[in-house]
Structure formats: C-alpha cells, structure tokens
Amino acid sequence: MLFQPTDFQHLLDAGQRAIAPLAELNALTVRTLERTARYQYGVAGDLLELGVAQLQTTAAAKDLGTLLNQQAALANAFVEKSSARSREAVRLATEAQGEFSAWVGNATSEWSRKTA
C-alpha cells in the first residue's frame, strides 16, 4: 500500500493539534516575561532618578540641615513610588497567575475531552 498525501496531511494536522497548547503556553510566557522586564526597567529608572536627585541635592546644599531635609523629601517620594511599584508587581503576578490557571484549565479540559 502506498503512502497517500491525505495520510500525511492528517499526520501534520495531528501534530499541530498536539503542539497548539504548548504554543499558547509559549505566548503566555513571552507576554509575562515582557511585562516583568518592563516592570524591572521602570524600577531601575526609579532608582537611577533617586540617585541622580540625591547627587544634585548634595552638590547644591548650603548647610547640613537643608541637605537632610531635602534628602528626607527625596526618600519619602521614593517610598511612595516604591509602594506604587509594589502594587503594580502584585497586579502583574495576579494577572500572570490567572492567565496560567486559565491555560491549565483549558488544556486539561481539552485533553480530557479528547481522551474521553
């Protein structure tokens, strides 16, 4: 019996269906890594801004009292930014967990539907 082209097409279709959940997981992973990288880039920018502002404040300070007040103001502003960044990190983690849980649920239900 000769190998028919339709048999080959069925084989390709089966392979694509088998790999589809992993392709979705790959896309989910890439999205999550991109979000995380953007978040980390923002955190690094915040730290760099704080460092530059502290250097400028130190260079422009006329006396110790003024320097300490300005440094305290910079620290308070940074704490506020850090708190916002922490909330953003929790939101990103929650979104990623939800997307991953949805993927697991979809993959599991599809697999159990196909095996039943």
The pTM (predicted TM-score) of the whole model is: 0.77
Across 95-116, b (16+ Cβ under 10 Å) vs e yields ebeebeeebeeeeeeeeeeeee
Mean pLDDT of the chain: 90
C-alpha–C-alpha distance, residues 5 and 50, integer Å: 65
* pLDDT band, residue 17 (cuts 50/70/90): confident
C-alpha–C-alpha distance, residues 114 and 65, integer Å: 73
Q: Are 67 and 58 in contact (CB under 8 A)?
A: yes
**Per-residue confidence (pLDDT) for residue 5, from 0 to 100:** 66
CB atoms within 10 A of CB 69: 12
Q: Are 89 and 39 in contact (CB under 8 A)?
A: yes
**Per-residue confidence (pLDDT) for residue 20, from 0 to 100:** 83
Tens of pLDDT, residue by residue over 53-93, are 999 999 998 999 999 999 999 999 999 999 999 999 999 99
CB atoms within 10 A of CB 28: 15
